[in-house]
Structure 1
Amino acid sequence: MKVLKIIVLVVLLGFVGIQFVPTDPNLSDVVPDTDFMSVNQVAKDIEHDLRVSCYDCHSNNTQYPWYNKVQPIAWFLEEHIKEGKEELNFNEWGDYSDRRKRSKLKSIASQIEDDKMPLSSYTLIHKDAKLSVEEKERILTLVNDLMEELDN
């Protein structure tokens, strides 16, 4: 029983201790001119859909939930956002080459069509981020229109 108490105490102290390890939040007050919405003059309804469903992980400004203050959750979210931004950062869209834009647009379409994005782990907590059939169709239409523009 004494060993169990020691183990619980060590785990508890470890948990409290990791709360003081800082993370690097993905927060920016600036929307750059290179942002996807600015570069492509996206309709308001599609802009809303993308901001709610994509921008937390694929931009330079995440709207963090309250539980982001708790470790190790904050580390998990920080790593997840870092990976998302490496794959696609909507704030840097204007800096991408046409070839990269085309590749990203194809990937966006594929991910949405295959229900891989937004991630189910994200929509489990963020119910409003789940895309309806109509929202998917609007985004896919935009993606296809942008690919056509790039091809011309």
Structure 2
Amino acid sequence: MFNPSRDQARRFLFDTWAKHKQNAPLTDLERMAFAVLARHPEYQVIVDTPDRYLDKDYLPEFGETNPFLHMNMHLAIEEQLSIDQPTGVRDLYRRLCEYTGDEHSAQHEMMDCLAEMIWQAQRSGTGPDGSLYLACMRRKAGLAEN
């Protein structure tokens, strides 16, 4: 899924959930997405009703959390961990798991770092900086900066 549109990213989650419910075989990426969905039962009603949620906007100024952004950030982190990209992210994730005591909480800490890296890239007009991401993760894991 290289650079999907908002609708394509949402449809991927809808389709993955539908395939799971039909006991259809899932691709490796769909299995990753399903694992994210399984950890978030509060979002399953959303992926179960694509007609209602495909075009829904989630506005932070109204205190709304975007469940699709949340799930896709988990998926991005799962992909990063599967290939250890940026290099060292897998080890820092393990450290965060130890620090937080929970894999899901560790991923939420990583999400904060991922969002910060993306925001910095947008603000500066540059590409994402993996070193900023890893430095943020080190801080969250209580590790001293190198």
TM-score (norm 1): 0.30
Write 1 or 2 for the structure with the bigger share of helix.
Answer: 2
State the TM-score, normalized to the length of structure 2: 0.31
Q: Greater relative contact order: 1 or 2 (C-alpha under 8 angstroms, separation 6 or more)?
A: 1
